[in-house]
Chain A
Amino acid sequence: GAGVSQSPRYKVAKRGQDVALRCDPISGHVSLFWYQQALGQGPEFLTYFQNEAQLDKSGLPSDRFFAERPEGSVSTLKIQRTQQEDSAVYLCASSLSRGASGDEQYFGPGTRLTVT
Chain B
Amino acid sequence: KQEVTQIPAALSVPEGENLVLNCSFTDSAIYNLQWFRQDPGKGLTSLLLIQSSQREQTSGRLNASLDKSSGRSTLYIAASQPGDSATYLCAVKGYGGATNKLIFGTGTLLAVQP
- A residues near B (Cβ < 8 Å) are 4, 6, 33, 35, 40-45, 48, 50, 55-56, 59, 91, 93, 98-102, 104-110, 112
- Interchain CB contact under 8 A, A99 and B99: yes
- B residues near A (Cβ < 8 Å) are 4, 31-32, 34, 36, 41-46, 49, 51-52, 89, 91, 93, 95, 97-107
Could you list 11 further interchain pairs (A-B, Cβ under 8 angstroms) beyond the known A56-B101, A107-B36, A107-B45?
A: A35-B104, A40-B106, A42-B107, A45-B102, A55-B99, A56-B99, A99-B99, A99-B101, A100-B97, A108-B43, A110-B43
Q: A98-B98, A104-B34 are in contact. Are A112 and B41 (CB under 8 A)?
A: yes
- Interchain CB contact under 8 A, A55 and B102: no
Which of A44, A50, A105, A109 counts the most B-chain CB atoms under 10 A from its CB? A105
Contact of B43 among A42, A48, A107 (CB under 8 A): A107
Residue of A nearest to B43 (CB): A109
